[in-house]
Amino acid sequence: AQKITQTQPGMFVQEKEAVTLDCTYDTSDPSYGLFWYKQPSSGEMIFLIYQGSYDQQNATEGRYSLNFQKARKSANLVISASQLGDSAMYFCAMREGRNTGGFKTIFGAGTRLFVKA
């Protein structure tokens, strides 16, 4: 069955340092997509980064990178040079069915990141 696990309910990081948010997943479908979203205290959901199961290279978007380890079924989010505005809840998500979208998508329980000045 489809499952997403985020084992860190909360994390602290010093401003300007890098931080890794963990995400493991489980699926029997060989074709899937992995996503990270940010939810600031204002409540909106913001898409950060996407990794397809057949992608050979790790995805990067600005200060965000996704450390994709397929054999270990992990898709950790790395935020480099943390900023105060990075303080938020972060959700890992997986979409099954096809690499490129659609179908059922599940979310992890989230990790709350606190960036310290």
Binding residues vs other proteins (CB under 8 A): 35, 37, 43-50, 91, 93, 98, 100-110
Q: Which amino acid is located at 96 in the chain?
A: E
Question: Which of 78, 106 has the CB closer to other proteins?
Answer: 106
What minimum distance in Å lies between the beta carbon of 100 and other proteins? 5
What minimum distance in Å lies between the beta carbon of 3 and other proteins? 11
Question: Which of 35, 115 has the CB closer to other proteins?
Answer: 35
Residues 6+ apart with CB under 8 A from 47: 35, 37
What minimum distance in Å lies between the beta carbon of 72 and other proteins? 22
**76: part of which helix (H) or strand (E)?**
strand 74-79
- Six-digit token pair at 108? 């992890």
